[in-house]
Structure 1
Amino acid sequence: MWWFQQGLSFLPSATVIWTAAACIFSYITAITLHHVDPALPYISDTGTLAPEKCLFGAMLNVTAVLCAATIYVRYKQVHALNPEENRIIRLNKAGLVLGFLSCLGLCVVANFQKTTLFAAHVSGAILAFGLGSLYMFVQTILSYQMQPRVHGKQVFWVRLLLVVWCAVSACSMLTCSALLYSGSFGSDVVQKLHWNPEDKGYALHLITTAAEWSMSLSFFGFFLTYIRDFQKISLRVEVSLQGLTLYDTAPSSVNNERTHLLSRDL
């Protein structure tokens, strides 16, 4: 059996591969059509103009679904492993909410381009990156709380390193973005897709975009750490019938039906 056939390990793998493909395909399309510069454009800039924005939006919507599924499976896994530890239960629920809101932000970023609705686009980015970073932080705390009985120390340290990487990238991006959009470099910076080395704020622009790509890579790395965890988990669907027919609402004794969801492994 291949590693991606074990449990639900294909889920975080598919999330990372599909998201990377969305960024790469939209980047290649935007570069080919000369819609953006090859040197480190914003990720969302590669999905601003047609036709790449159609590809970018559609693929990121699928990414949001895959991310939500991965986050939910992780939530159920932690819940099953620690059914009576109140601190872990609270953190686990917080992580679920943060993760789902981050997925919502990803949908907003994908469907509202910065050149059309800048406020909506930025709000979506704050949800996706900001709350996504908090989700990573919560999961790292959970990894610490669950070691060594459930998690190994290596997993915790890897996730902590990725969280620190994400935090450094986020601070760099926020600081440089605040300086870049302060108005000192012109009013057209928000809508600008093409940059020349002679332009004012070019260095800040490169640092900001590099930090954004770096932060995205830290997210990819974090989700990849789920692969080993997901190899030992499967989900089942339990159907509980409340009547003998679809229109019978009277209570009756009907056997439950259990079927596998997504995986046949335990």
Structure 2
Amino acid sequence: SLIYLEGYLYIVYIFPAYLKHQAADTTPIQCACIYCVCVFLGVCTVYVRYKQVQALISAFTEFSLQTLNYVGFLLGVFSSVGICVVANFQKTDMMSMHLFGAGMTFGPGALYILVQTGLSYRMQPRFHGTDILWARTAIGVWCLISIIILFVSSLMMYDEMPGVEVATKLHWSPGEKGYLAHQVSAGAEWSLGLSFICFFFTYIRDFQKISLRVQPILQCNHLYSYPLYEDREPIHHGEHSPLLAGNI
């Protein structure tokens, strides 16, 4: 359900807003609230994956698997938080923070895919088959190609428009220098984001085999903070106990 909802928000709200922005050539997309919801869902997805792998490999004493799982969890959290930074610092307001958030999203996000693909390689054929490994490998290659296209097209865009603040430029016209490179760069950026969502889709069948719950554990049998009640023994009433209220 987490993954379905996250994909729904990206495809139904964020991606159409991006297409409208590119077609109308207007101000940056204002959907920070939806982005923050995606951040929450992303962190939840990363956490569930971490706990599932932790439970599966708990019987193994191999330290490298546990380290990979923990590193993957941290990378996933950093990438999700980066989305929040991108959403709340528009490039027209604070360009440096916007770029920092983008790097925080795409860098750790790509490394997260790499780490999880490596985990899948180490965990097969004991825990799953090679089909899911190949699926995650293909998405990892897709992510890598998107990064390369984004990097190359961005360099071409800056090279074609010397002396222009490309990062803060909002209005682009067909036929203008750097227009094609700008479109390719923007498309590669969102293709990269879509590859992250598709990678989460590979968790759907895995998450159908795990349930998480919150179990309360009482540290004492009262809610007082006075030392007088620290060693208070629990009172068990029986059928002969008087029906009286407690002392005041």
User: Which one of the candidate residues 38, 49, 55 is aligned to 2:23?
Assistant: 38
User: Which one of the candidate residues 60, 84, 88 is aligned to 2:35?
Assistant: 60
Q: CA deviation at 1:252?
A: 7.6
Matched residue, 1:128: 105
Contact 1:68 1:100 in 2 (8 A): yes
Greater RCO, 1 or 2 (C-alpha within 8 Å, sep 6+): 1
Tell me how far apart the structure 1 counterparts of residues 132 and 92 of structure 2 sit (CA, whole Å): 40
Tell me how far apart the structure 1 counterparts of residues 154 and 147 of structure 2 sit (CA, whole Å): 10
Identical aligned pairs, as a percentage? 43
Q: Which residue identity lines up with residue 175 of structure 1 in the other structure?
A: V
User: Which one of the candidate residues 162, 178, 199 is aligned to 1:201?
Assistant: 178
Matched residue, 2:145: 168
User: Which one of the candidate residues 101, 114, 117 is aligned to 1:137?
Assistant: 114
Matched residue, 1:211: 188
TM-score (norm 1): 0.79
Q: Which residue identity lines up with residue 195 of structure 2 in the other structure?
A: S
Tell me how far apart the structure 1 counterparts of residues 113 and 80 of structure 2 sit (CA, whole Å): 13
Q: Which residue identity lines up with residue 179 of structure 2 in the other structure?
A: Y
SS at match of 2:167: coil
Query: CA offsets, 1:234-261, max 9 Å, x none?
Result: 101121111111225737888xxxxxxx
SS at match of 2:47: helix
CA separation of 1:20 and 1:253: change in aligned 2, threshold 3 A: farther
TM-score (norm 2): 0.85
1:157 corresponds to 2:128: no
Q: CA deviation at 1:71?
A: 0.1
Query: CA offsets, 1:94-143, max 9 Å, x none?
Result: 00110000011000001000111001001000111111011011000001
Matches within 5 A, 1:176-195: 176-181=153-158, 184-195=161-172
Tell me how far apart the structure 2 counterparts of residues 81 and 67 of structure 1 sit (CA, whole Å): 21
Tell me how far apart the structure 1 counterparts of residues 113 and 170 of structure 2 sit (CA, whole Å): 31
Choose 1 or 2 for highest CA Rg: 2
Matched residue, 1:225: 202
Q: Which 5+ residue runs of structure 2 have no aligned equivalent? A: 235-248
Larger mean CA deviation between 126-135 and 18-27 belongs to: 18-27
SS at match of 1:121: helix
Tell me how far apart the structure 1 counterparts of residues 156 and 140 of structure 2 sit (CA, whole Å): 24
CA separation of 1:253 and 1:167: change in aligned 2, threshold 3 A: farther
Matches within 5 A, 1:98-137: 98-137=75-114
Q: Which 5+ residue runs of structure 1 have no aligned equivalent? A: 1-9, 255-266
Tell me how far apart the structure 2 counterparts of residues 127 and 115 of structure 1 sit (CA, whole Å): 19
Q: CA deviation at 1:59?
A: 0.4
Contact 2:160 2:178 in 1 (8 A): no
Task: Provide runs of 4+ in structure 1 moved above 6 Å.
Answer: 251-254
Cα root mean square deviation, aligned: 2.2
Q: CA deviation at 1:89?
A: 0.3
The total of aligned residue pairs comes to: 229
SS at match of 1:220: helix
Query: CA offsets, 1:59-84, max 9 Å, x none?
Result: 00010000000000000000000013
